[in-house]
Structure 1
């Protein structure tokens, strides 16, 4: 992929940095909340509701894939006033998910290099004191989880595109001390390949997200023998068949990979998963389908309810029927769970982390950060930023706010595509982006908790 750096990128960075110093913005609602990268800046607030959905369009939709440019000299994400950003590492092949070990080490899935990297930062600094490759020879690794949950995990679980494996681990290990042990095999890996994993707070359940194999189940194949109604009587609500069987779902297993079961269906691509500390609820961020128009349908973050159906491929954001499946599943009307937080269409949310650290101002505690990778299927570019989801008493308000922006250079080019987000042991926010392969540390004030 060609990378081009220029003076325009430097100018944009300087302008975006100035935006970070502006005061809070008014809450944007309805169509006013549908913006593009030119209006993004830290503090911009949006509230999107199901009633804000536009009519879908099957007309030709734009392809607006980002041209990837070199990161302009000294460019960094723009963040709110009072915060600072430091570069941890650059030049990584494909840094995706980042997770924090109990001792504070940063485990980073370097997906296209088929390895997991580890960074140990100097105290109160973004400078790595040590770094290593924890494991290699993997298959597009993405999700990472420590087991059992708590201060003394014995295993590091890694979700490949086609399996879940685990490595023996002791506190402070920077290289796996043993071979990978297969936990879950035979996961379908075509199309959406990002597999995230998380453990329930009690450590009894391993959650695994498996994205769809297509945009809207184009290749699901013939209807089940005996008809859909007969088939559906013995299957989870909203389950798919054929090439999409066991996909667009969140699955659950015992920690040893046994006792497979379905948690929720109709989640087109839950590419990021985490457990909310305040409630113990499992949360997903979901990439919705393409080719229905610039603002249809909304992306979302949601608590994953056991047994729930979230719509894909027949419906979206409640009982809004996908016109490409008109009349196909009337039995599912009225049974679609509406997600908790709606985000602008084609933003491509990839990961989520709840903030419970001690470094940021007190009103950040309990909120969540979501990385928006940016998507191709929109006339004007959107996404390419990190947003903050607002919570009150453990419940989402539906509002989200731009937190880190400045990754876009122009209508044609970007230098950064945010992917991973995690809260460090010292309360700093850790971000990865796979455009230029960088990892960042965001702190408030002098960076000390």
Structure 2
């Protein structure tokens, strides 16, 4: 597939500085748009990617894969293309056929140029500027497809060296695409083989977003060995959410040569927070990462362990994907064990805070919980919630909180980016838990600081 990180994650940088709030932009040629950190389709309906990556450029004969992925419930496919610099160029006619296959199978098409992978470290990798040249050469094919196509400028555009120009180069690439007349939503990948361990994308995403005159850019993080804990996943994604910047997990796996990604948290946190994701990859992996195939030999009837997890497991594609409304749409998935979210909490009349506990989803032996914290009539700078499980439940992972347990007693405190709340404002955190017998809802207390 591709080389991954050989270096360990660098120490955390300073907290992400506050960024301007971004309002709803003018709709771009009736295509996808971005507003307040969310992606909306041409009907103005929020769209959350739930899909897979497909290595089309290396397996162009596998055109049935689009129908197979759709039949398993996906709503999006990220398609690997080549500019011709490292692999055989995907021609205009071929790309037009890919778009046609996506539309025929009611899939949103994320098109990406793979030749940029690991630039600055990988021999033969091309610049983002060269990738833009390729996209401009496809302008006649892309025109009129804004409802169905998202343009991912270049895959993992820098390795672990010489990535300091990521922000400038990404902003320049976006502006060149706009000048050339492309009005599609643009997706920008992180450096460091896509995993951004240096936090270069995290700390510069606001400036790249602001450089897009259409304010129609989405950021993509790839989660492999760097993201092997719930804390790393929730902190990274949570900072984009807090900044009002759109983020998707453009690639991730359940295992990798550079470490063991925490795929359960990626799926659970994304579902709880409306973040899109695209698993790597449908089939055809080599180079020692064959275990990342979702299907054996492109056979949808022969899903691998990873494929079963992504398509059929908790918070997977079957359970959470919704078709884009531009295709007519399908209702959100429901199960007998799904629980509705609680109504908005009325702020307490004085200072302090209140908290409400809900079970967002439940399956045999496990569940996803959420606690919503609401400030009272005065602003608060931090909060602590506490509850005691009555039926032997336990918490196995959490996000957007620092959570500790002592027997049945649970304490959950704010993290750096979500402790300050204005009067009456709310924030939520989530967790995955286990249960046996019954799963009664505990009473939760909240203390403000």
TM-score bin, normalised by smaller chain: under 0.3
Instruction: Tell me the TM-score normalised to structure 1 length.
Output: 0.25
Between the two structures, name the one with larger relative contact order (CA 8 Å, sep ≥ 6): 1
Looking at secondary structure, tell me which structure has more strand per residue.
1
Looking at secondary structure, tell me which structure has more helix per residue.
2
Instruction: Tell me the TM-score normalised to structure 2 length.
Output: 0.25
